[in-house]
Amino acid sequence: MGEIEGILRNGKRRGVAAVMVLVSLLMLLGVAALAVDAGYLYNVKTDMQRAADAAAMAGAWDLLDEDKLSGTPFMDEEIAAARVSAVQFVELNTMLGGDASMGMNIANDVGGDIVIGYLDDVGDSIDSMSFADPNEFNTVVARVRRDESHGGAVSLFFARTFGKDTAAVSAEAAAMLKDGVVGYRVPSDDVNASLLPLALHIDTWRAMLAGVSHSGDNYDFDSDSESVVSMGDGIQELNIYPGGGANQLPPGNFGTVDIGSANNSTADIARQIVHGVNRADLAHFGGELRLGDDGTLTLEGDTGLSASVKDDLEAILGIPRTVPLFNAVAGPGNNSVYTIVGFAGIRVMHVKLTGPMSGKEVIIQPAFVIDETAVTDEGSGNSYFVYLPVQLVK
C-alpha cells in the first residue's frame, strides 16, 4: 500500500511539473509572439516617420512666396501648394502594413494632419506656433496616421491570440524655412557663402522695396534657360553703381567691403564676387562673420566700385547672392568703415561699366537666397529673403 501511495505522489509531482513547463512554454511563445508584433509595429512606425519627414519638408519648400519680392506678399497659393506637396510625398512613400492617409486640413485646425504656421526660432516648440499672419508662415507640421479614421489601424499577427487584432500608429514631423540671418560661418573648404563684398545702405534698400527709389522693372530671370531676359517681372530694380545719373545712388550709399584681410585687393573682390566668401576669408573674423549683441558689425571698405570687376559681375548674372546692408559709413575712400546691420538676397540683372558716367549701371533686384552657411537668430528684422535650407525641427 505504501508503494502505491509513493507512486501516486511522484506522478502528481511530475504532472504539476509538466503543467508548469507547459505554462512556461506558452508564456515564452506569447512573449515571442508579442515581440514579433512589436517589431512589426516599430517598422511600420519607421516608415510612417520617414513619410512624415518628407511631407513636412516638401511642404515647407513651397512656402517661398515670389510675391514677397515685389513687396506684395500673398501666401494663399503657396499654402495651398504646401498642402498638396505634403500629401503627395506621403503617397509616394511605401509603408509596411499598407499606405497611410493624410487629410488636407484646409481649415488649418491645430490637430489636423497638415498644420501650417509661423515659428520664430528652430528651438521653439510647435505648440508655440503662431497663426496670426499667413504671409509670414514658415513651418509645416505633417501628421501621418493609421487608425480608424485614417485608412484603418494596422493589423497584427500573433496578438490576435490575446484578443488584440489591430493597433493605431502615428508619426509627426515639423519642417521650417528659417530666415533671420545674422551672419555666416563656412564649415569646410568645399563650400562658400553666398555673400558678396558689396554693401548697400539699408534705407536705399527699403526705399526700393517700397517703390520709392528704384530703376524701373526692365529685367526678368528665366528659370527655364537660367538666364536674364529683357522684360519686366513685377520686381523692383535698383542701379547700385554710385555716381551720376538720375537713378544712381549718391556717393556713400554703396561700396565694397573687406570680408577677409583689411584692404582686400581687387583680385580678392573679384574672387568673392564669382565664388563667394570662403573659409579662409572668415578666418580673419575668428571663423564667423556675425552681427554683435547690438545688431551691428563694422567692416572696412571703399565707397565705390572698380570697373575692373565688370566681367566678374557679368559672370553671376541671375545667380542669387547676398549683400550686407549698412546704416552708416564713416571716412572717405579706402578709409571707409561701414556699420553692417543686416543682409539681403539679390540678383545682379545687368552690368554696364563703360561709357559716360550717367550710363553706367549695375542693376540688382531682390531674390531668394538659400545658403547653408548662414547663421540665424531669433527675430533678425534687418535681413531680407535669405534662408537656411529647409530643416526638420521635430
Q: What is the DSSP string of 88-118?
A: HHHHHS--TTS--B----TT--TTSSEEEEB
Please tell me the predicted confidence (pLDDT) of residue 127.
Answer: 85
Pick the closest to residue 361 from 330, 302, 301, 317 (CA basis): 317
**Low-confidence stretches of the chain (pLDDT beneath 50):** 7-8, 22-23, 25-26, 28-29
How many structural domains comprise the chain?
Answer: 2
Amino acid at the residue 362:
V
332: its cell numbers = 572717405
User: How far, in Å, are 28, 98, 155, 166, 360 from residue 38 at the CA level?
Assistant: 15, 17, 12, 12, 71
pLDDT score at 263: 67
Strands 198-201 and 321-330, bridge-based pairing: parallel
Same domain? 198 vs 73: no
- Quick check: 282 and 288 in contact, CB under 8 A? yes
172 and 187 within one domain: no
pLDDT of residue 378: 74
- Clarify whether residues 103 and 199 are in a common domain: no
Nearest-angstrom CA–CA distance, 275 and 191? 10
**Together in a domain, 62 and 123:** yes
The pairing of strands 166-167 and 154-155 is antiparallel
Query: Residue 247: inside a domain, yes or no?
Result: yes
User: Is residue 226 domain-shared with residue 125, that is, in the same domain?
Assistant: no
User: Which residues does 87 contact at the CB level (< 8 Å), separation at least 6?
Assistant: 55, 102, 104, 114
Model pLDDT, residue 87: 93
Asked if 350 and 384 sit in the same domain, the reply is yes
Q: Alpha helices of 276-352 — where are they, by DSSP H?
A: 279-283, 310-315
Which residues are CB-neighbours of 71 under 8 A, at least 6 positions away?
209, 210, 211, 236
Owning domain of residue 240: 181-388
What is the C-alpha to C-alpha distance for residues 365 and 350, in angstroms, rounded to an integer? Answer: 10
Domain boundary among 131, 160, 176: 176
Instruction: Give pLDDT, residue 295.
Output: 93
Question: What b/e string do you get for 187-226 counting C-beta neighbours within 10 Å, with b at 16 or more?
Answer: eeeeebbbbbbbbbbbebbeebbeeebbbebebbbeeeee
- pTM for this structure? 0.84
Is residue 393, in this structure, part of any structural domain at all?
Answer: no
Task: Report the C-alpha gap between 390 and 319 in whole angstroms.
Answer: 20
Contact 363, 377 (CB under 8 A): no
For residue 348, the SS3 value is strand
In this structure, the answer to whether residues 82 and 114 fall within a common structural domain is yes
Give the distance, in angstroms, between the CA of residue 33 and the centroid of all CA atoms in the same chain. Answer: 44
Asked if residue 289 and residue 200 are part of one domain, the reply reads yes
End-to-end CA distance of the chain: 77
Q: Do 162 and 208 sit in the same domain of this protein? A: no
pLDDT of residue 227: 94
